Structure 1
Amino acid sequence: MGTDPAGLRGEAPLLDAWLRFQERSPTPFTIPGHKQRRDLVGDVVAGDVPLYAGLDTMKLATGVLGEAEARAARLWGADFCRFSTDGATHANQSVALAFGGDGGRVVVSRSLHRSMLLGLVLAGLEPVWVRPEVDRATGLPLGVRPDDVRRVVAENPDVRAVFVGDPSYVGTVGDMRGLAAAAHDYDVPLVVDAAWAAHFGFHPDLPEHALALGADVVVTSAHKTLPAWSQAALILARGGRVDLRRLDAAVDATATTSPAGAILASTDAARALLARDGVALLGPAILAARQARRQLRDVAGLVVLEGAHVDPLKLTVVLPGTGADGIAVERELIERGLPVESADRDVIIAVVSLADTETSIAAYTQALIAAIEHHRGPARDVVDAGIYQVEPEMVTTPRRAYFAAAQAVPLHDAVGEVSAELVAPYPPGIPVLAPGERITRRSLSTLEAAARAGVRIAYAADPSLRTLRVVRA
């Protein structure tokens, strides 16, 4: 039977429906095929309730999903909200499709996740790239400069939208109000992949969320920083510069027709919790993360990302000054039962959320400090990650290259050819190569450096990087 320990019943219609289903214990003659039996494959299916003939009738007669989405729209000050059970990946691709059609161009930050870039393939959109600033001291991205957006849009007056990712994967926060103003100066909508910012705007010590700062469309992941199931995400939008009916159709076109009710209910519950207790829950986590930063600042040679333009709940540290290898540090943290969001040789990223406590954050901080000291060595120079400095040379559109006849060639024979695939170090999933781009020695050296630093090379047909798929001449 489902439980409601936070006392959210009555405040979250999808959660209410999920609890009612558990209390009724029906014998369904519908999917899913486990029929609510946990004696077949075990507790792995516990709580799995469909939307159709589960949270609602097969005909969606009670409208609980629409009511939950309307409550979320009100909370974020949006005209439109849709829940996704396929994560920010589905949400980003839906948004791209909403701006597609007969081709067309959009301004795209090169720091965006691969899901949006593959959304360009689906939508047939051509990117006009804009790069984020990079902090020379750490090699990590800052935000995209509003003046760069203004310049690019002025030079390309036919663009349909500006797509940026903010905050960055490492937790840096850009000038969202300035970006919105830059786009709106040309009556172009600003679309923000704010996957890591579902908590923004719900405590005075956090940045405002992107819609409050002028964005037209925001994608955010409920599961990244809120207590929702994996794959829970929201698409929020304001009308005016965006065709909301077209966006709605794009969401439906790319969504599963069998949405997981537990994911939807957890999104609704997380929204209700944030509305009622956000300040009370986020405050202690922010204070504990602040204390962690104070302790980490005392570690010789360690650089800690902090300040007004950093998410207080993203603990990102830069290791070269300590000489420690981040992969070895990560291994030790895993052995202590404290896995982190991301680690490569030079950077370790830990995600703190309202689910953390002073005790859990203190335990992580002490373990991190001990692991760094255990693996301390001679200081080394900060090496630019390269992925944030890519200067892509577009030869053809992503869609044309993605569907073109292609062949695999040895890695270094690929220099000068046109990439038929998207290749990205993961995390963070920001492409070094995208379909339709010229393969350069610099792009290959960036991928090889990431692999040497212990980062997984993702999405390539050959993840060993012995070969690359190129457009056949």
Structure 2
Amino acid sequence: MPRNDPLGLADDAPLFAAWLRMTADVTAGRTRFFSIPGHKQNHRLVGPLVDGDLPLYAGLEAPGPLALLTDAEQRAARAWGVDWCRFSVGGSTHANQAVALAVGRPGDTVIVSRTLHRSMLSGLILAGLRPVWVYPELDEQHGLPGGVPPAAVAEALHRHPEAKAVLVGDPSYVGTSGDLEGLADAAHAAGVPLVVDGAWAAHFGFRPDYPQHALARGADALVISAHKTLPAMNQAALLLARTTREGGLLDPARLERGFETGHTTSPSGAVLASIDASRALLQHHGERLLGDLLGLRRRAAEKLRSVSGLEVPTGPAADPAKLVIRLPGTGASGLRVDQRLRAAGFTIEMADRDTLIPMLTMADDVVAVDALVTSIVAAVEAERGPARPISRSPAWSTVPVTGMAPREAFFATHESVDATAAVGRVSGELVAPYPPGVPVLAPGEMITAETVDELRRIAKEGGRIAYAADPSLRTFQVVRD
């Protein structure tokens, strides 16, 4: 077994196998590129940064039909139990936008979870869809979001029988999941598809003590980010669907058009190969590796729970591998803890005042996780203060007032006004704390004093405010009257 395929995945991963062969040929000088990318695998200009960056076209694939990519995508479709799959090198952002373009036409209504990622909101703008918001339940103890209640979706569909789809994010950024079977029943009773942004759940469904993936629970389409919880390269994602060919509710031709509209014509062969390899890894070694990951998470949680005031929430509807650390009971600021962790050489996925989320994956080991936990405990103790009340992030609790459709606001004439003057005006921009990238303010929504105050509070605490034209929040972009 070659060193660069330690688990023997190439036999069931055609794109990955092609990448291995071409990498070997380039290293041995048997292949020389007179095609893009412009670095031509040469270290002379920018050093080893270019290693492994092989193209799909005029690279892994021979001229003609894309046989290897088609084979890899079909294998993934079978692995997730559906008939349609495309690999994206534009992350879940591209996949969410593709499915938005596929489910309706400009002016159509869709039922949408308010805690959707900004990529789906931008998809609504591109497609000209009009959202009817539904909201997740909130855990009163921790202030974290749960799932969207099926009854809320059923009621929204009853009020809007013209709706064309139901779009939800599940699991949430903090790993909580809802009743997808109930959501699917509500959507299907109305004759519309359920589309799930499951970006954080690429590992679901491949071991009995993890949740089933959304397609197995009744969803018609699923977006997953292979680069988040699997060992795929950044920007690697999949869009999977059950189409009308299998008695589903989604048109495969519309899905293809939606996907190709935002897809690059120069996809990275390396990113695509990493999706193929990650799928093969899940099918052949996922049960063992995901079991090891559960052990790492349990070990970390046990040590962290010994810290006075620190909480590590879990529950039957949560991703069992997601490590969410709540700090209000310690009085420590998550942002200051994060600074200490960075100084100690650790980066984590997310930090705000009350929450830390270090990502644990199948690539981690006991030594690394133990070192991280030791540093977290030390940083929390160094920042310890009086316990504070639980607060709800506006990302999970915002209830917007709609002034106009998102697309209309996006293309309207905008002007920049002082924050005080912006209150009561229609927003022309999207503003979100990042992470998690869930909009607190979106195009077409009325700007309220509460929204401005909450965003400024996050910024003052050291959080990152993303996508705003003025990150200082002294001014806002509004629709010109």
Alignment partner of 1:69 is 2:73? yes
User: In the alignment, what sits opposite 1:20?
Assistant: 21
Number of residue-to-residue matches in the alignment: 472
> Alignment RMSD, CA only?
1.3
Secondary structure of the equivalent of 1:235?
Answer: strand
On the 8 A contact 1:106/1:159 being kept in 2, the answer is: yes
Task: After superposition, give the CA deviation of every residue in 1:300-325 in whole Å (9 maximum; x if it has no partner).
Answer: 11121112122111110111110111
Task: Give 1:276's match in structure 2, choosing from 281, 284, 287.
Answer: 284
Task: Give 1:197's match in structure 2, choosing from 189, 194, 201.
Answer: 201
Cα distance between partner residues in 1 of 2:334 and 2:318:
21
Cα distance between partner residues in 1 of 2:281 and 2:318:
24
User: In the alignment, what sits opposite 1:348?
Assistant: 356
Cα distance between partner residues in 2 of 1:319 and 1:176:
30
Shift of 1:2: 8.7
Letter in 2 for 1:59: G
Cα distance between partner residues in 1 of 2:85 and 2:393:
36
Task: After superposition, give the CA deviation of every residue in 1:233-272 in whole Å (9 maximum; x if it has no partner).
Answer: 0000001111111101110111000000000000000111
Shift of 1:128: 0.3
Secondary structure of the equivalent of 2:57?
Answer: coil
Shift of 1:7: 1.6
Alignment partner of 1:46 is 2:51? yes
Query: Pairwise mapping of residues 57-456 of structure 1 onto structure 2 (< 5 A)?
Result: 57-60=62-65, 63-239=67-243, 240-456=248-464
Shift of 1:100: 3.2
User: In the alignment, what sits opposite 1:460?
Assistant: 468
Shift of 1:355: 1.0
> Could you list the runs of 5+ residues in structure 1 that have no partner in the other structure?
none
Shift of 1:350: 1.3
Cα distance between partner residues in 2 of 1:75 and 1:452:
46
Cα distance between partner residues in 1 of 2:372 and 2:22:
38
On the 8 A contact 2:335/2:463 being kept in 1, the answer is: no
Task: After superposition, give the CA deviation of every residue in 1:22-55 in whole Å (9 maximum; x if it has no partner).
Answer: 2222112111111221221111111111110001
Shift of 1:11: 1.2
Cα distance between partner residues in 2 of 1:221 and 1:270:
11
Secondary structure of the equivalent of 2:60?
Answer: coil
On the 8 A contact 2:415/2:478 being kept in 1, the answer is: yes
Cα distance between partner residues in 2 of 1:409 and 1:352:
43
Cα distance between partner residues in 1 of 2:74 and 2:55:
20
Task: After superposition, give the CA deviation of every residue in 1:310-343 in whole Å (9 maximum; x if it has no partner).
Answer: 2111110111110111111111111222211000
Task: After superposition, give the CA deviation of every residue in 1:252-296 in whole Å (9 maximum; x if it has no partner).
Answer: 111000000000000000111111000011101101211221222
Cα distance between partner residues in 1 of 2:99 and 2:386:
47
- The more displaced of 417-426 and 136-145 is 136-145
Letter in 1 for 2:13: A
Cα distance between partner residues in 1 of 2:193 and 2:104:
14
Cα distance between partner residues in 1 of 2:394 and 2:177:
20
Task: After superposition, give the CA deviation of every residue in 1:413-467 in whole Å (9 maximum; x if it has no partner).
Answer: 1011001111111100011111111111121122112212321110011111111
Letter in 1 for 2:357: I
Letter in 1 for 2:10: R
Over 3 Å off, 4+ runs: none
Letter in 2 for 1:157: P
Shift of 1:102: 3.4
Secondary structure of the equivalent of 1:470?
Answer: strand
Secondary structure of the equivalent of 1:230?
Answer: coil
Cα distance between partner residues in 2 of 1:40 and 1:58:
29
Secondary structure of the equivalent of 1:352?
Answer: coil
Cα distance between partner residues in 2 of 1:201 and 1:144:
21
- The more displaced of 33-42 and 65-74 is 33-42
Task: After superposition, give the CA deviation of every residue in 1:191-224 in whole Å (9 maximum; x if it has no partner).
Answer: 0000000000111111110000000000000000
> Could you list the runs of 5+ residues in structure 2 that have no partner in the other structure?
none
Secondary structure of the equivalent of 2:324?
Answer: strand
Shift of 1:386: 2.0
On the 8 A contact 1:2/1:19 being kept in 2, the answer is: no
On the 8 A contact 1:52/1:60 being kept in 2, the answer is: no
Cα distance between partner residues in 1 of 2:116 and 2:214:
16
Identical-residue share of aligned pairs (%): 54
